[in-house]
Amino acid sequence: MNNASGAFVQGAEAYGRFLEVFIDGHWWVVGDALENIGKTTKRLGANAYPYLYGGAGAGSGLRGGSPEVSGYATPSKEVGSRFRD
């Protein structure tokens, strides 16, 4: 009897391997979720409070803002003329 491991020992080893993979997988998922939550929170904070994140002014941090306010672009024609036929 060189191999004395019976059904109980093999079952315990299998359960230990399963538990290790289960816990490791959950740490991976939780870590990814926390990382994504942190990035999203930072992005929302930068849009809500651009002066805290190095933005120039209140209107410059938001995407889709008026080019006249943000200063990144100058409109080539008036907004009303874009919708006329």
Tell me: the pLDDT tens digits for 10-59? 889 999 999 999 998 899 999 999 999 999 988 888 888 877 776 655 44
What letter would DSSP give residue 83?
Answer: G
pLDDT grade, residue 1 (50/70/90)? very low
Look at the alpha carbons of 71, 77, 78, 83 in this order and tell me if their dihedral is positive or negative: negative
Given a cut of 90, is residue 4 above it in pLDDT? no
pTM: 0.44
Looking at 17-21, 50-54, 63-67, 77-81, which range is the least confident one?
A: 63-67
Within 49-82, residue ranges assigned H as helices are 67-70
DSSP letters along 2-14, please? -----HHHHHHHH
pLDDT at 46: 83
**Domain ranges across the chain:** 36-85
Which structure tokens are listed for 68? 């006249």
